[in-house]
Amino acid sequence: MNVPQIRLESSFIKMGLRTEKPVQEIEQPPAVQSIQQPKAILEIETIPGKLTIDQTKARADVDLKSVGRRIEEFAQNGYQDWLKGLERRAAQGTELMKIENGGNPIANQAKENSEGPTQQFNIGWVPSHNSVKVQYEPAKVNIEVQPQKPKIEVEVKKPVHNYTPGKVSTEIIEKNNLSIDFINLTI
């Protein structure tokens, strides 16, 4: 027995995508820089050291005295000798005035006037210790620095940006289809 039939046969549409990739170009030009560093202002002031050496006493110890000092010493020694002589003569005159008290003042005075002072000898240092006076004032250095800030100039360049957008296009590879078929139909 043949039964009438309707046959339906369908196929889906087949689509294809055609893609063109986007192109992006970015270029960053370098910035233009200008950097200058001015020199610092530097001021140096030096006060030199001072050395003072006084060797007057050392020169006097080895008998190398100036004329002025010798004259001053001779004048002082002469005055002291004159005072001692005056004192001695006054004392001897007083003894002679009182000759009646006894003793032998003339012989004693003759012996006293003829003998000099006893000389002393001892070890000594020529020149004497600490006879050279040394004084030193150290040098002074004053330093002043004024730093200078750097001068920086920058010119920023914008990036160069080129963009080509991508494209997507569709195409039909195979169309959809519906076939209808009748079998065993009798009319």
Instruction: Please write the tens of the pLDDT for every residue from 21-74.
Output: 999 999 999 999 999 999 999 999 999 999 999 988 888 888 888 888 889 989
- The predicted structure's pLDDT at residue 4: 81
Amino acid at 89: R
pTM of the complete model: 0.38
Tell me how many degrees the CA angle 129-135-128 measures, rounded to the nearest 5: 10
pLDDT beneath 70: ranges in the chain: 1, 124, 187
Identify the CA nearest to 157 among candidates 27, 26, 25, 31: 31
